[in-house]
């Protein structure tokens, strides 16, 4: 007997995608986006930047290597949902502790398998990211559309996922101290700095400039995170007050926040950049890096005119701004994720650049 569809995705334009439920059996209004990575679904599931978003995985088989305790990017995943072509609930991996479905059920994350993900991805590519709702298959279309319409677009995602208290992550042989503003930071960023002899103090996104200066850090890091960067005014103000006083490095949302602190503007991309295969040109070397990305917003190139910021990186595919710097203020940022290092050349050299900037500042 053929298995019956028991769950579906309703998009705000009235289209429906039916499938089979896994993970948590709950309904949720989400923004539907896609990710082109061939591996790394655990890192995607546990990346706080996906808060309020359901991710369509373009790679067809998901779940086949389970979930390993050492590979989470955050202790409490907050992704809105997962939409896949084929879900494997019998993983083959000696490191796996649990299945993907078990973890999703524990953290209240709904999933749908059996969906035509190629059709759905093309729809997002052609028409843009849209809101939708994950519901049981018997929920009428009109009811789903009404629930989407009645659910306000959230503007507090960063404030929901930021650290609730200050925590420290020590390096084995510490050389520098960095205050990292947690806007939804991936744990591998902390590990990348620890490996380079940096003690990291992770702080909530509403930390004040005075509190940061009291910690006497050698550098300030602004993390990735979910949502619209213009919603995160406390961090924009923080960068504005501290630029030029302490070396600053920003990744992803942190890159956008740095641009906003100088008076530049950001805008929402049609369907964003999400995957491990985005080519970026380093304008200082002319080399191309294959980067890992996850963002809906970008810095408006024209708005940088009149600011002291210099564009250091550009996306090869669409020309969007991928890196900024201001030498006078000892500040730089990238839109992509160097800690993910998906290409043949490790882009972790950007953490080494941060180290060099702190060293230079220390002896200035």
Q: What is the pLDDT of residues 212-256, one digit of tens each?
A: 999 999 999 999 999 999 999 999 999 999 999 999 999 999 999
pLDDT band (50, 70, 90) for residue 113: very high
Q: What is the pLDDT of residues 130-159, one digit of tens each?
A: 999 999 999 999 999 999 999 999 999 999
Quick one: 133 and 166 in the same domain?
no
What value does the mean pLDDT take over residues 325-335?
Answer: 97
User: Is 39 contained in some domain?
Assistant: yes
2 included as an active-site residue: no
Quick one: 124 and 188 in the same domain?
no
337 included as an active-site residue: yes
Quick one: 283 and 221 in the same domain?
yes
pLDDT band (50, 70, 90) for residue 346: low
Quick one: 39 and 17 in the same domain?
yes
Quick one: 120 and 199 in the same domain?
no
Choosing from 153, 188, 211, the residue where a domain stops is 153
Q: Return the pLDDT at 343.
A: 53
205 included as an active-site residue: no
Q: What is the pLDDT of residues 246-282, one digit of tens each?
A: 999 999 999 999 999 999 999 999 999 999 889 999 9
Choosing from 131, 153, 175, the residue where a domain stops is 153
Residue of 255, 278, 313, 337 marked catalytic:
337
Residue of 31, 43, 289, 339 marked catalytic:
339
Q: Return the pLDDT at 340.
A: 83
Quick one: 179 and 299 in the same domain?
yes
Quick one: 184 and 267 in the same domain?
yes
Q: Return the pLDDT at 75.
A: 92
Choosing from 96, 119, 153, the residue where a domain stops is 153
Q: Is the pLDDT of residue 182 over 90?
A: yes
User: Is 1 contained in some domain?
Assistant: no
What value does the mean pLDDT take over residues 27-32?
Answer: 98
User: Is 2 contained in some domain?
Assistant: no
pLDDT band (50, 70, 90) for residue 344: low
Quick one: 130 and 179 in the same domain?
no
Domain that holds residue 49: 7-153
Task: Give the number of domains in the chain.
Answer: 2
Q: What is the pLDDT of residues 34-88, one digit of tens each?
A: 999 999 999 999 999 999 999 999 999 999 999 999 999 999 999 999 999 999 9
Q: Which residues contact 89 (CB under 8 A, 6 or more apart)?
A: 22, 63, 99, 100, 101
Q: What is the domain-level CATH number for residue 114?
A: 3.50.30.20
Quick one: 42 and 146 in the same domain?
yes
Q: What is the domain-level CATH number for residue 352?
A: 3.40.50.880
Residue of 105, 252, 295, 322 marked catalytic:
252
């Amino acid at each position: 007997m053929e298995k019956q569809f028991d769950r579906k995705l309703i998009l705000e334009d009235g289209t429906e995608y039916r499938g089979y439920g896994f993970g948590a059996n709950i309904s949720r209004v989400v923004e539907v986006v896609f990710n082109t990575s061939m591996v790394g679904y655990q890192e995607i599931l546990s990346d706080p930047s996906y808060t309020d978003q359901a991710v369509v995985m373009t790679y067809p088989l998901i779940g086949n290597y389970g979930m390993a305790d050492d590979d989470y990017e955050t202790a409490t995943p907050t992704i809105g949902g997962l939409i896949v072509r084929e879900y494997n609930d019998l993983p083959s991996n000696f490191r796996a502790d649990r299945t993907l479905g078990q973890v999703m059920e524990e953290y209240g994350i709904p999933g749908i398998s059996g969906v035509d993900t190629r059709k759905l991805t093309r729809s997002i590519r052609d028409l843009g990211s849209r809101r939708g709702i994950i519901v049981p298959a018997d929920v009428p279309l009109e009811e789903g559309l009404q629930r989407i319409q009645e659910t306000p677009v959230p503007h507090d995602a960063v404030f929901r996922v930021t650290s609730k208290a200050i925590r420290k992550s020590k390096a084995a042989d510490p050389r520098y101290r960095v205050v990292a503003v947690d806007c939804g930071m991936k744990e591998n960023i902390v590990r990348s700095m620890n490996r380079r002899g940096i003690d990291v103090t992770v702080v909530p996104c509403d930390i004040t400039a005075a509190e940061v200066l009291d910690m006497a850090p050698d550098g300030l890091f602004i993390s990735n995170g979910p949502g619209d960067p213009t919603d995160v005014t406390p961090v924009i103000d923080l960068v504005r007050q501290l630029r030029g006083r302490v070396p600053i490095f920003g990744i992803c949302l942190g890159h956008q926040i740095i641009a906003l602190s100088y008076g530049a503007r950001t805008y929402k991309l049609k369907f964003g950049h999400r995957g491990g295969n985005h080519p970026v040109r380093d304008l200082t070397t002319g080399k191309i890096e294959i980067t890992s990305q996850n963002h809906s917003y970008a810095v408006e190139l024209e708005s940088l005119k009149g600011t002291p910021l210099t564009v250091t990186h550009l996306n090869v595919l669409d020309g969007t701004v991928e890196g900024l710097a201001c030498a006078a203020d000892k500040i730089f940022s990238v839109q992509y994720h160097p800690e993910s290092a998906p290409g043949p050349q490790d882009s972790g050299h950007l953490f080494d650049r941060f180290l060099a900037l702190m060293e230079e500042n220390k002896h200035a």
